[in-house]
Homo-oligomer: A and B are copies of this chain.
Amino acid sequence: MSAKDLGITVKKDENLSEWYTQVITKAQMADYSSAKGFMVLMPYGYAIWESIKEYFDKRIKEIGHKNAYFPLLIPERLLRKETEHFAGFTPEVFWVTHTGDRELGEKLAVRPTSETIIYESYSRWVNSWRDLPILINVWNSVVRAEITGTRPFLRTSEFLWQEGHTVHESEKEAETEVMTILEIYKQLVEDQLAIPVLTGRKTEREKFKGAVYTTTLEAIMPDGKALQMGTSHHLGQNFSKPFEIKYLGKDEKEHFAWTTSWGVSWRVIGALILSHGDDKGLMLPPRIAPTQVVLVPIFYKEADKESILKVIRELAEELERAGVRTYVDNRTQYTPGWKYHEWEMKGVPVRVEIGPKDLLHNQITVVRRDTGKKESLDRQTARQTIMRILEEIQSLLFERASKKMMELTSTATNLESFKQLLEEKGGFIKGYLCDESCEENIQKETGATVRLISPDQSQKGECLYCKSENSRLVYFARAY
């Protein structure tokens, strides 16, 4: 295989779908599996998931959340306890019916989400107001049968995620939790992954089955399709009642508790790839990149090798001490050119090259993945300059994606302009909407769904579909 074969053979602008598949495979992010609809998360993809995990885990622990683990298999009778929830999930459930050759007395669901199995425990754990709040998070995987249109990261029958499940004394406290988590998600996605999002509530039609309401983060991909990046649900007392999660309050009376649940999955890695990648491959925001700086030695004579490697190692150590994640690529079976292609494909933000000329002038050469710009830096101040460049890349990626989101956001005043905008450029389309039947009609006619209700309801308007007055402002899009 030549260095050229490493590269992507289609342009991102011309065939996003094929480009996406090639990037995932060639950057070794993920692989297909013979279990249909299931995906292998390869080490490089997993390292990105670890970055995401580390950030989010730290953030929620700082405000009192703790991790735990609940069973993978859920008895059918538990799943049935909340009717709407069961109806929503049952078509997608993978059912265990046998162990070995023995048929089970009761079917077990491979967890599609854990509300029911967790609430069974909570009903025992919660007795008094002193036991509240319960702030528990779980890192696991869930399975939901996806028959059609599976894509790595974006739509898979199994996905890694975290699911938070909290219990509170009051509705107000539960609602505050929902918003606190939504805000942490927003910071994860915007500040770490450099992907701008809209946040707000889902409509009744789009909410989580069993929730009072669902809040969401929605990003827009370069092809104009929206991607849901995470959700945080207010479950009210919808689950605490069937599961009997009750506590004796300070008032000495028994109350049903208030619960929330929230999740972010590996899907955000799909958004990361789609949002920032280019014709050379991945482009990773420095804060989430498993390797932020790769250092490549260049020598033509064996005599130069040791002195160059010495400088490379010194700089790498200096960067590591300052908290920069570095990798010294001193593999001998590959040429520098091959290495450049590989690290560009893998989206490493900064590449450092050091050759004989650099050594001579006490300098290093730095190449930015975001702009492709190559420059010589003074060796003495290289660490500080590289750290500044990493911050610049982080900002630039977010600015670019924000500009793209602005370009892909428009407003429709009637159904014709709505359809035209949807066909011509896609993206988020703002418009007024009355109630659920118009929402369904619009979806049937155009394929677009309501991604969120605009948080700004200062003005009401005429429904796009039925023209009734005093309708809410919402964001539509076709979605992944």
Contacts and interface: CB of A to CB of B under 8 A. Distances in A.
A95 B75 CA distance: 14
Interface in A405-426: none
A191 interface: no
A74 interface: yes
A122 to B, nearest CB: 10
Interface size class of A (residues with CB under 8 A): 35 or more
Interface stretch (A40-48, A310-318, A396-404): A40-48
Interface stretch (A62-70, A211-219, A354-362): A62-70
B95 A67 contact: no
B108 A99 contact: no
A110 interface: yes
A158 interface: yes
Given A72-B141, A73-B110, A93-B100, A117 B67 contact: no
Interface string A356-387: 00000000000000000000000000000000
A408 to B, nearest CB: 32
A178 interface: no
Contact of A108 (B35, B42, B160): B35
Contacts of A110: 72-73, 96, 110
Nearest to A101: B91
Given A35-B108, A120-B34, A68 B43 contact: yes
Classify the secondary structure of A's interface with B.
Answer: mixed
Interface string A92-134: 1111111111000000101000000100110011000010000
Interface string A138-150: 0011010100000
A49 to B, nearest CB: 8
A431 to B, nearest CB: 35
A446 B148 CA distance: 56
Given A33-B70, A46-B69, 4 more contacts: A46-B67, A72-B143, A93-B100, A140-B141
Interface of A: 31, 33-35, 38-43, 45-47, 49-50, 66-75, 78, 90-101, 108, 110, 117, 120-121, 124-125, 130, 136, 140-141, 143, 145, 158, 160, 333
21 contacts: A33-B117, A34-B75, A34-B120, A35-B74, A40-B68, A40-B70, A43-B67, A46-B67, A47-B66, A73-B143, A91-B100, A91-B101, A93-B99, A94-B96, A94-B99, A95-B97, A95-B99, A97-B98, A99-B145, A110-B110, A130-B333
